[in-house]
């Protein structure tokens, strides 16, 4: 039962004791209740405990009890009291309002608690619980071998000497094996020495199969020529005289049985040798043919990779690429006019020949721009857009020149006219092959780092049915 003693008051006085004393526990009220008959106050818990010991629920003072909540003025007085924590003797220096006190003591770090582990009867301060948890000898920890839960104080002994699942090292092969399985391992350890039952040699278990197959002199084997079965030690002598054993001719490398070797004349040998040479020549010729075909395929693949075509990935989603990447077009259900860019696959200094098959908006253009503009076109009428674009209506958007950016030049193109675009790191040029109009601009890196920017050749379509093709 909770008790708040008068000696916990910061400012103790007889007047406070007289006003705030429970008539049962004689300490400070906790959740005061009032008797309507005599108007005396009691702790709620004290009154409940008192009544349980009586034949009928009654007031300890007047024996008549009709309970009601304590007077508000008393509760206000209690809430203004400053009290020390009941765990002050354990080190808590808190000075608390009455209204905060009961919340505080529930979690006060200086409260004494019992260790939660069975077998450990130590009282510890709440603040030291984690530290004690790391050292408590009665905490159950898991054995690293068998996963059984063992008291901390017994774990080391268990893991080192008692656990039947603990691994120990085999003295022969150095493998780590659970001690429970060690006897089975010893019987099958690959480093164990066994005696061969035929030749009585000492052989490691891991080498026994190889010994029986290739080395044991007492193993019965079959002659590759006459098929007679003999011990390996006898087979060596037998093979040196067996007439059915095949021997390789030193000249033609043909395999010939010993009994037929005397009939293998020089003429036969050279005839066989000639046939071998002919077969090898045929194989070499076939290899040359294969190499030529492979070279043609590589060249064809290289040509396909170097073809100039529209990119299927670096483009606006509305642009459709057809005819093996040679034609780009807009074919939409609605006609919204705005810049839609598509990159052209090409290497620097290689001319790109372009022809417009349909133009609905004279702001369609050809040129070069940085990669991010392909997906997020900028306002090219403003400066620092890092683009060099040439429109059908003659307007050019040139990043390096504020004076010419967005101005109309002596250049333009219509449907059916072939354009030739050339670019590298130093310049970009465009030529109308029909009218011979020509523009060239040096590329400026004044406002951006040359190493950080990669310029792409692009085509810009704006309106429904705009369409262009790559000629070369």
Residue with more model confidence, 10 or 449: 10
Whether the pLDDT of residue 32 is over 70: the answer is: yes
What is the model's pLDDT at position 131?
Answer: 93
Whether the pLDDT of residue 306 is over 70: the answer is: no
How far apart are the C-alpha atoms of 45 and 210, rounded to whole Å?
A: 89
How far apart are the C-alpha atoms of 452 and 411, rounded to whole Å?
A: 31
Residue 175's domain comprises: 139-191
What is the model's pLDDT at position 468?
Answer: 96
Tell how strand 455-461 and strand 365-370 pair up. antiparallel
Does 30 share its domain with 88? yes
Note the pLDDT tens digit of each residue in 74-96.
888 898 899 999 999 999 999 99
Does 323 share its domain with 431? yes
% of residues, the chain, pLDDT over 90: 38
- DSSP string of 442-472? EPP-SSS-GGG--EEEEEEE-STT-EEEE--
How far apart are the C-alpha atoms of 223 and 231, rounded to whole Å?
A: 10
What's the DSSP call for residue 364? -
**pLDDT mean over 320-348:** 88
Query: Is the full-model pTM beyond 0.75?
Result: no
What is the model's pLDDT at position 328?
Answer: 95
Q: Strand ranges (DSSP E) for 347-437? A: 352-358, 365-370, 387-391, 395-398, 407-408, 418-423, 427-432
Does 182 share its domain with 95? no
For residue 18, give the 3-state DSSP assignment: helix
* CATH at residue 66: 3.30.40.10
Q: Write down which residue in 165, 191, 217 finishes a domain.
A: 191
Q: Where are the alpha helices (DSSP H) in 125-243?
A: 129-133, 152-157, 182-188, 208-210, 232-239
How far apart are the C-alpha atoms of 273 and 254, rounded to whole Å?
A: 9
What's the DSSP call for residue 161? I
Burial (CB count within 10 angstroms: exposed 0-12, middle 13-18, buried 19+), residue 419 = buried
- Cα 443 vs. chain centroid, distance in angstroms? 42
Does 458 share its domain with 326? yes
Whether the pLDDT of residue 448 is over 70: the answer is: no
Report residue 303: phi and psi, to 5°.
-65, -40
Whether the pLDDT of residue 304 is over 60: the answer is: no
Does 24 reside within a domain? yes
What's the DSSP call for residue 40? -
Whether the pLDDT of residue 1 is over 70: the answer is: no
How far apart are the C-alpha atoms of 73 and 388, rounded to whole Å?
A: 86
Whether the pLDDT of residue 305 is over 60: the answer is: no
Does 245 reside within a domain? no
Print burial letters for 262-292: b (CB count within 10 Å at least 16), e (below 16).
eebeeeebeebeeeeeeeeeeeeeeeeeeee
**Are the C-beta atoms of 361 and 463 separated by less than 8 Å?**
yes
Residue with more model confidence, 357 or 50: 357
What is the model's pLDDT at position 154?
Answer: 92
Note the pLDDT tens digit of each residue in 393-432.
999 998 777 788 889 999 999 999 999 999 988 899 999 9
| Domain total of the chain | 3
> How far are the Cα atoms of 196, 198, 216, 236, 244 from residue 222, in angstroms, in the given order?
20, 17, 14, 11, 13
Handedness of CA 408, 409, 413, 419 (dihedral sign): negative
Whether the pLDDT of residue 184 is over 90: the answer is: no
What is the model's pLDDT at position 114?
Answer: 92
Q: Write down which residue in 62, 86, 107 finishes a domain.
A: 107
Does 228 reside within a domain? no
Does 345 share its domain with 447? yes
Residue 23: count of CB within 10 angstroms of its CB: 18
Does 447 share its domain with 318? yes
Note the pLDDT tens digit of each residue in 165-175.
898 888 888 88
Whether the pLDDT of residue 457 is over 90: the answer is: yes
**pLDDT mean over 118-129:** 92
Residue with more model confidence, 25 or 448: 25
Note the pLDDT tens digit of each residue in 223-282.
888 899 998 888 888 988 888 888 887 777 788 888 887 777 777 777 677 777 888 888
- 19-23, 63-67, 368-372, 462-466: which has the minimum mean pLDDT? 63-67
What's the DSSP call for residue 180? G
Q: Write down which residue in 107, 131, 148 finishes a domain.
A: 107
Does 18 share its domain with 77? yes
**pLDDT mean over 99-114:** 92
**pLDDT mean over 169-183:** 86
Does 212 reside within a domain? no
Of the CA atoms within 13 Å of residue 403, those in its CB half-sphere come to 0
What is the model's pLDDT at position 414?
Answer: 94
Q: Where are the alpha helices (DSSP H) in 54-175?
A: 72-79, 98-107, 129-133, 152-157
Whether the pLDDT of residue 342 is over 90: the answer is: yes
**pLDDT mean over 334-351:** 86
Does 288 reside within a domain? no
What is the model's pLDDT at position 29?
Answer: 92
């Amino acid at each position: 039962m909770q008790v708040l003693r008068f000696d916990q008051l910061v400012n103790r006085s007889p007047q406070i004791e007289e006003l705030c004393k429970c008539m049962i526990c004689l300490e400070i009220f906790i959740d005061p209740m009032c008797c309507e008959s005599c108007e005396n106050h009691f702790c709620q818990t004290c009154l409940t405990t008192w009544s349980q010991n009586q034949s009928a629920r009654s007031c300890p003072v007047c024996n008549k009890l009709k309970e009601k909540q304590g007077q508000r003025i008393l509760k206000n007085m209690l809430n203004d009291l400053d009290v020390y924590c009941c765990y002050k003797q354990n080190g808590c220096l808190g000075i608390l309002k009455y209204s905060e006190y009961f919340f505080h003591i529930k979690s006060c770090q200086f409260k004494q608690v019992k260790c939660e582990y069975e077998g450990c009867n130590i009282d510890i301060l709440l603040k030291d619980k984690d530290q004690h948890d790391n050292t408590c000898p009665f905490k159950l920890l898991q054995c690293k071998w068998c996963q059984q839960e063992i008291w901390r104080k017994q774990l080391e002994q268990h893991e080192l000497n008692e656990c039947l699942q603990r691994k120990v090292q085999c003295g022969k092969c150095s493998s780590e094996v659970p001690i429970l399985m060690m006897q089975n391992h010893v019987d099958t350890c690959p480093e164990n020495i066994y005696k061969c039952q035929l030749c009585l040699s000492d052989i490691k278990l891991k080498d026994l199969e190889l010994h029986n197959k290739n080395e044991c002199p007492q193993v019965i084997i079959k002659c590759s020529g006459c098929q007679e079965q003999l011990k390996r030690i006898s087979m060596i002598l037998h093979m040196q005289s067996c007439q059915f054993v095949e021997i390789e001719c030193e000249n033609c490398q043909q395999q010939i049985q010993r009994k037929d070797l005397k009939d293998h004349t020089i003429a036969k040998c050279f005839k066989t040798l000639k046939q071998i040479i002919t077969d090898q020549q045929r194989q070499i010729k076939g290899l040359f043919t294969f190499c030529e075909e492979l070279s043609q395929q590589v060249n064809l693949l290289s040509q396909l990779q170097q073809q100039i075509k529209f990119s299927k990935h670096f483009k606006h989603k509305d642009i459709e690429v057809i005819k093996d990447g040679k034609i780009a077009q807009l074919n939409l259900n609605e006609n919204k006019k705005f810049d839609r860019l598509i990159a052209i696959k090409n290497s620097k200094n290689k001319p790109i020949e372009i022809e417009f098959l349909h133009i609905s908006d004279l702001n369609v253009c050809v040129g070069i721009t940085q990669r991010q503009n392909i997906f997020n076109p900028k306002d090219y009428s403003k400066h620092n857009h890092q683009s060099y674009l040439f429109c059908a209506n003659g307007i050019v958007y040139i990043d390096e020149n504020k004076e010419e950016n967005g101005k109309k030049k002596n250049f333009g193109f219509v449907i059916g006219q072939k354009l030739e675009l050339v670019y590298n790191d130093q310049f970009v040029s465009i030529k109308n092959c029909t009218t011979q109009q020509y523009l060239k601009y040096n590329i400026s890196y004044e406002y951006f780092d040359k190493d950080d920017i990669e310029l792409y050749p692009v085509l810009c379509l704006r309106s429904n049915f705009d369409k262009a093709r790559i000629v070369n």
